[in-house]
Amino acid sequence: MFVLFILEVPAVGASSGHLRNCSSSTSASSSSPEVPAVLSITKLDTVCFPERKKYNSSDGNELNISAPCSLLRPAVMKAAAPGGFLVLPWPTSGGGGGGSDPEVEAAEGRGGLLLRCGALLGVTLICVAVLRKWIAGGVCRCSVRLDGKTVLITGANTGIGRETSRDLARRGARVVMACRDLTRAEQAAEEIRRSTGNGNVVIRHLDLASLYSVRQFAKDFLDSEDRLDILINNAGVMMCPKWLTEDGFETQLAVNHLGHFLLTNLLLPKLKSSAPSRVVTVSSIAHRGGRIDFDDLFFSRRPYSSLESYRQSKLANVLFARELAHRLRDSGVSSFCLHPGVIRTELGRHVHGWFPLLGALLSLPSFLLMKTPWQGSQTTVYCAVTPGLEGRSGRYFSDCAEKETAPEGRDDVVARKLWEESARLVGLKDSC
């Protein structure tokens, strides 16, 4: 890049000549060298002006010129103007020695660095926004109202259960929140009543790890409620230590599957009388790779693996929903199961307990790579309220769309055997 350097020279005649190197002593008789009115350089030439030297034009007028030494000039340069102006190019960087300004170069370097950092930041923010949108998955766009309908949600005081309760309450439904911790349940219910303006949100005690609690809850519900339009089997535990329930069952299979299996069967009379009605069971993509070990369901003889147990319980959810749909065909009761996504909820509290350092390291990435509870509740709401899903009873959903289950989740023989074994374990004689 060049900047024009203009030297004003008084008008002179049309004389021409070559500018002499001023650093060499060319004449002892002249105290100041002459500067021609017309400068013509026919080849690459080096012109040296000592700083603030005085030169005489051909008509004897004195001219002050300030310029760095050793300026490299173009091959052919002519500068002449009617007003007597001498025009020289001014290099801003490079060139020979004095043509560069350290402060300008430093400023340009800082500007370039800021520009690159800004571009990198902008690209990063765009990538994060696109990633977050992709992770968020589908959103239930259905605006169906549920006025006059009754919805029962297990594990409704936290996580996606709480957000599901809020959404269905906003649609006008009577929401029964079935929770183990009544104190936290009442706090959540009050917040939902206040935020939705729906005062018809109630809490009931339910401990899915206790068959007695499940039976007592079902009895009270059947006695007090007129209808049940939507049952959402949402509660669950994930990768907890090897605990046994009061009934002698391994906790993950007991809470995630057996408790909901018994609850659903006990409430079927109310579901059938309220038809068309729905049963929505929250499973997980973790059912892939799961296996139902009928010889050792509760890890009595094999080493306990919290992950393997969790996978078994989530596969049991998928098989239960599939077999329920088969058994309730033409009854007006539909059955669906779903994967809500990887969500930032309390469900993973036992994982952090097992691996505290890993949990601390992943806490920041989890904010970018996990769904919020509201986002995680969208597929549950979709299965609960979207019209026209009855023809897809028994199917598996994720991100508000039907998805294919793992091959082990489509095994009807295993599904039937699991149903029969579950009925035996919970003491259910009359199942559908």
DSSP 404: P
Residue length of the chain: 432
The radius of gyration of the chain from alpha carbons, rounded to an integer in Å, stands at 41
E-strand stretches of 164-210: 174-179, 201-205
User: What are the strands of the beta sheet with 401-403, ordered from one edge?
Assistant: 201-205, 174-179, 150-154, 230-233, 277-282, 333-339, 396-398, 401-403
Q: Give the max Cα distance, the chain.
A: 130
Query: Choosing from 55, 310, 382, 396, which is the catalytic residue?
Result: 310
Give CA angle at 295 (289, 299), nearest 5°.
70
Contact 195, 226 (CB under 8 A): no
CA–CA gap between residue 232 and residue 230 (Å, rounded): 6
The HSE-up count of residue 303 (CA atoms within 13 Å, CB side) is 2
Structure tokens at 283: 């499973």
Cα separation of the two ends of the chain: 86
Which residues, at least 6 apart from 361, have a Cβ–Cβ distance to it below 8 Å?
none
Q: Name which of 160, 153, 205 is nearest 179 in CA terms.
A: 205
* Whole-angstrom distance, CA of residue 133 vs CA of residue 137: 7
Verify whether residue 310 is a known catalytic residue: yes
Identity of the amino acid at 34: E
241: burial class by Cβ within 10 Å (0-12, 13-18, 19+)? Answer: exposed
Residues annotated as catalytic (active site), given as ranges: 310
